Amino acid sequence: MKKNCCIVKLVCVVVGLAATVCSSAAAAGQLVNAVYVFGDSLVDVGNNDYLPAPAPRARSPYGYDLPGRPTGRFTNGYNLADIISQRLGFEKSPLAYKSMLLHEKFLLVTCNIGANYASGGSGILDTTGNGTLTMSTQIKYFKRAVDKMVCLPSKEAMLSQSLFLLSAGGNDFSAFTGSINEAPAYIANLVSTYIKHIQSLYNLGARMVGILDVAPIGCTPGQRAGMPDGECNEVANSLARWFNSLFRIELAGTAAATMPELRYSIASNYNILTDMMANPLVAGIREVQTACCGAGKFMAEKMCGAEGTGVCADNHGEYMFWDMLHGTQATCERGALAVFYGAAPRYADPVNFSTLVTMKKKKKGSLVAEQ
């Protein structure tokens, strides 16, 4: 009964609010000064296009449903960084940092625009990924910009009014080759390292942080293709749940101790996608197991764009997954609505993104919503 209740809440967010939220986002104006994005392929908008091999690149047919494709995004259209930015009143994600021209970097250091530092294939750990921008490197690039910033009324004020969006962890589990007995130590290291990254951003001026937790990685088409009956890999899912739970506990404690002005929201990619899979038709999704782009079992035995792969002929918006790992634009749109307006703590903890961006500065350990 509790699970069905959660699904109903998600459906209300996705279906009932979609029309009013989509029509009002742009009219409401920009809710934050800028957006700064860090993480992996769920939010990369083209940094990997400027990296040499073996960094993965989102070549055609990625970007299939956007003009001028491909766009460096690992999906058919806009990704979560774009859609979250749109909810905040921007046209799309800030530019990929690696793509910025001189005048754009000037706008960055005068606090007129944000930047997207995310790199597909990267993770929380520096050892995750092959040729990608590690999260440590991404933060170093951001520090270079911060060191040069001259902003009005002040650098500190402008950064405190900006959203820092983070997405990481899934690739770290793909890179994990240890036994289940080694998982606790690995997860503990992931959590502590991730919090150190957040602390580094806080020290550089971040005060408003939105975090996407690890999705149900065992239910991707790529994982299903390797299972005997095409079911979800519950071992992988249990590791994701374990990480998500520990991360919430440790971040709350560390924030209280060393980041007193931090306001944050941890969006539950895990619960949002799990509930959409449980009742896809009501959420507006027809296919939740098979990818739209790829080849073989579940269209997931070859990565989208590789030789011998193809794209589904059906409406791409009816698919949850674009390739063996990444959601479609439609999935991102539905997920972002739940992130912004879904009930806490099921879909965001301790508050949703909508509440986060309307909060005043933290005072004496409490968060106060704008009146």
Active-site residue, from 82, 122, 326, 349: 326
Please give the C-alpha separations between residue 326 and each of 42, 195, 262, 371, in angstroms, as whole numbers. Answer: 7, 25, 30, 38
The partner residues of 164 in beta bridges, in order of sequence, read: 36, 209
Active-site residue, from 44, 82, 172, 323: 323
* Catalytic site includes residue 41: yes
**Strands 310-311 and 293-294, sheet pairing:** antiparallel
With CA atoms as reference, report the closest residue to 266 among 256, 252, 254, 253: 252
* Catalytic site includes residue 316: no
Q: Bin 41: left if φ > 0, else alpha if -120 < ψ < 50, else beta.
A: alpha
* CA–CA dist 204, 198 (Å, integer): 10
Active-site residue, from 40, 41, 44, 354: 41
* Catalytic site includes residue 326: yes
Active site residues: 41, 323, 326
